[in-house]
Amino acid sequence: MTVPNVLLSGIVGSTAYGLAREGSDIDRLGLFAAPTTELHGLRRPKESHVSTAPDRTLHEAAKWCRLALGGNPTAMELVWLPDELYEVRTPLGDELIGIRAAFLSARRVRDAYLGYATQQFRRLEARGDGSFSADTRGRTAKHARHLKRLCAQGLELYTTGRLTIRVADPEEYHAFGERVAADPSAALPLLRQYETAFDSGPTVLPEEPDEAPVEAWLRRVRADFYPEAVPQPSGCSSPRS
């Protein structure tokens, strides 16, 4: 998949978290700028490009901004990666990293991270008593690891305004995944613990994100990808004065 105008892209997922093991997929996430003239026509350009082998997701700049402003955990991690995990990093990408705090708000971070963690728990709960195939057991353990990660990262972001991508103790997450794979209900106490922590813990985040620098950044993107002279289709005449 060749997508022009990629502004920022890097390795995310289990490799970034430090949870990857032999055979784990390498996931990539990034954002690109659609040519500004394409936004003016009858049909909007494609907002996301997703491929497998390699696993790569690229969102158009405006879509990525909307996802991040909503607190989307997957989108958010792109601007908090360790430097060595970036594969494409342009000046506009660096500017975006520089305003990453503007996307944060207390309610949206809480709702998004706890919401995604709760979705993971519902998947675990639906699998019953743990008497399932080895393949399903592996997926269950993976969902449990991500539940724990989402809770921990979300609370860090909520209370400090920072996001650490690589987990501190990967083996602890793998052990938790195996416990939950044997008994999915074992995930519930952890989820409840973090719900209480979010409810009782102070937050450094504002009630609403600061959209002004985000809007200004996106307008710079549009200006950069708008040609100075836009050729008219053949047969069209300039309007008379």
Encode pLDDT of 122-169 as tens digits. 888 776 555 556 677 888 899 999 999 999 999 999 999 999 999 999
Same-domain check for residues 53 and 11 = yes
Q: Residue 234: is its pLDDT beyond 60?
A: no
Q: What residues have CB less than 8 Å from 229, skipping those under 6 apart?
A: none
Q: What is the pTM of this model?
A: 0.88
- Residues 43 and 79 grouped into a single domain: yes
Determine phi and psi for 33, rounding to 5 degrees.
Answer: -110, 120
* Same-domain pairing of 90 and 139: no
Token couple for 176? 């938790």
Is residue 86 situated within a structural domain?
yes
What percent of the chain has pLDDT above 70? 90
Whether the bond between 54 and the residue before it is cis, its omega within 30 degrees of 0, is yes
Same domain, yes or no: 150 and 189? yes
Question: 99 lies in a domain?
Answer: yes
98 plus 216 within the same structural domain: yes
CA distances from 80 to 69, 84, 94, 102, 121 (A): 15, 11, 11, 13, 25
Q: How far is CA 136 from CA 25, 204, 214, in A?
A: 17, 39, 41
Alpha-helix runs per DSSP H in 33-84: 61-69, 73-76
In a domain, 59, yes or no: yes
Residues 194 and 115 in one domain: yes
**Is residue 239 situated within a structural domain?**
no
Is it the case that residue 241 has pLDDT exceeding 90? no
Is 112 in the same domain as 60?
Answer: no
Given a cut of 80, whether residue 75 has pLDDT beyond it is yes
Residue 25 lies in a domain: yes
Which residues are within 8 A (CB) of 178 and not within 5 positions of it... i.e. 6 or more apart? 141
Q: Is residue 230 part of a domain?
A: no
We report the CATH number of the domain holding residue 48 as: 3.30.460
Let me know whether 152 and 220 are in one domain: no
The verdict on 118 and 79 lying in the same domain is: no
44 and 132 inside one domain: no
Residues 165-200: pLDDT tens digits? 999 999 999 999 999 998 988 999 999 999 999 999
Q: Based on the structure, what is the number of domains in the chain?
A: 2
- Crossing angle (nearest 10°) for helices 106-125 and 188-200: 170
Name residue 212's amino acid: A
Residue 241 lies in a domain: no
* One domain for residues 121 and 84: no
Question: What 8-state DSSP symbol labels residue 52?
Answer: T
Q: Are 153 and 168 in contact (CB under 8 A)?
A: no
**Cα–Cα distance for residue pair 62/225, rounded to 1 Å:** 13
Tell me the percentage of the chain whose pLDDT exceeds 90: 75
d(CA 153, CA 164) in angstroms, rounded, equals 7
Question: In which domain, by residue range, is 219 found?
Answer: 6-103+210-224
Q: Do 76 and 136 have their domain in common?
A: no
pLDDT for 7 beyond 60:
yes
The verdict on residue 235 lying in a domain is: no
